[in-house]
Structure formats: structure tokens, C-alpha cells
Amino acid sequence: MRLKRNIIERAFYFLILLISYTYSIAQESDDVIIDYKIVDRFESPIPSINYLTETAIGLRKGELYYQNILLFGQKFGLGITDHFSMNMGFELYSMFDGRAPSVLVAPKLTFNDREDPVKFGIGSNFVFISNFGSDQIAGSFYGLATFGNTDNHLTVGVGVGYDSYSIYGLPVFQVSGHLRLSDHFALVLDTLSLYYDSDYGSATSVFFRYMNEKFVFDIGGVVSIDGGDGIPLANFAIRLN
């Protein structure tokens, strides 16, 4: 019994010495280099937008993108700083009615880095509409929260709309998301719910997205949740730098 206990004690002491020696080597040696490589895919090229709605992921300073919506909608976004961006755009369809194009001005301020798991932002959409001499303005003020990273994220938002005559009393709600399926493919969801005709109505757009390092192309459609009507849509955007 005593011999057995001595063997166990010596083995225990030997284990302590081995751990101590290994720790001292790791602390004192500056020549040990562990080389490893993380295989990672490219970042989603334009995570600041879904289809029509924004996310709380900001453009980096100097980032510039161009978006084309159904050929007639033209939109540009520029990162003024890492947390403040300016979107501007116009549409060409009005020219077929002999009117000047409607113009969009949309600043956005974000409060977090892209790497943060939760991001917040606020912004505004200002649209000037030319209507045969009776010019109007319309738009919204909104707040956003985005959960996730640039590949997989969910955005919820709430805002208030306005036009030339008044500010709408009831809010506009947004739920949107981006789910990356592979290196080059993703699903994009965009849902808006707003009050009109004495009731809330919602429209959801779902897109299948192809992307590379700088370019995205979306094909899908928008469906009215209330009426069930669907409209096919297409969209592409490109990061210019």
C-alpha cells in the first residue's frame, strides 16, 4: 500500500514539474511563432442598404456606391465620415409625363462600428416631387436598430412620415434582413408597414441576391400582405471605390 502511494505521489510531482516547465518556456521564449491562416469570404459589398430601406450599418468614410432600381431609380450614397453618410437620388419615370424628376436627399447618422453586434442609427428621407406646377415634398424621419454582422443581420425601425401639409400622426414600421447563403448568394427581406386609408397596410419584398466584392444584383418581387398582389422587381448596386 505504501509503495503504491509513493508511486502516485511521484507521478503527481512529475506532472506539476512538467506543467511549470512548459509554462516557463511559453513565457520566456520570443522565438516561438504560431502561423495560421483564417479562410474568410469577402464582406458584403453594400451592407448599409437592403432594397429601399436603410440599415444601421454605416458607410465608411469615402465609400461611394451607386444603386439602380428598375432602371428608372438612380441613387448614390457617400460616406462623409465613418458614422455620417449622405444618400441622394432621382427618378426618370416622371419625364414620360412631361414633369421634372423627383429628387431624394437622405442623410443618415450611425452610432456604432460595423463589428458591433448591435448598431443604432437615425436618418431622414426628403423627396421633392414636381407635379405640374403644384410642387410637393414628402418624406420621413426614422430610427433604426440592426442586429448581427454585415453578412447576416436583422433591422427593425420606426419612423414618422410627412408631406407638404402635415406630419402623419401614426408611425411607419420597418423590418428587414439579409441572410448570406454562400460566398456569392444571399436572401434579402424588406418590409414596410404604414397607415393609409384609415388602416395599416404592409408590403414585403423578397429578393434573391448575387454579389461579388463590389457588385450586387437582386431579383425578386414585392407583395402586398393585405391584398396579395405581387410585382416583380429588380435592382443592382455597385460600390465605386
Buried residues in 83-94 as b, exposed as e (16+ CB within 10 A): bbbebebbbeeb
Please give the model's pTM, rounded to 2 decimal places: 0.78
Reading the block at residue 83, the C-alpha cell is 458614422
**Which residues fall within 8 angstroms of residue 55, CB to CB, at 6 or more apart?**
47, 48, 49, 119, 121, 144, 146, 153, 155, 176, 178
Q: Which of the four pLDDT bands, split at 50, 70 and 90, describes residue 5? A: very low
Range from 44-53, 138-147, 192-201, 203-212 carrying the lowest mean pLDDT: 192-201
Fold of 64-239: Outer membrane phospholipase (ompla); Chain C (2.40.230)
Q: Domain extents for the chain? A: 64-239
The three-state secondary structure class of 22 is: helix
- Residue-wise pLDDT for 141-186, tens only, equals 999 999 999 999 999 999 998 888 888 878 999 999 999 999 999 9
The confidence score (pLDDT) of residue 36 equals 39
Q: What is the pLDDT of residue 136?
A: 87
pLDDT digit string, tens, across residues 86-124: 999 999 988 888 888 999 999 999 999 999 999 999 999
C-alpha distance across the termini of the chain, in Å: 77
How far apart (Å, rounded) are the C-alpha atoms in residues 202 and 224? 6
- Residue 164: predicted pLDDT: 82
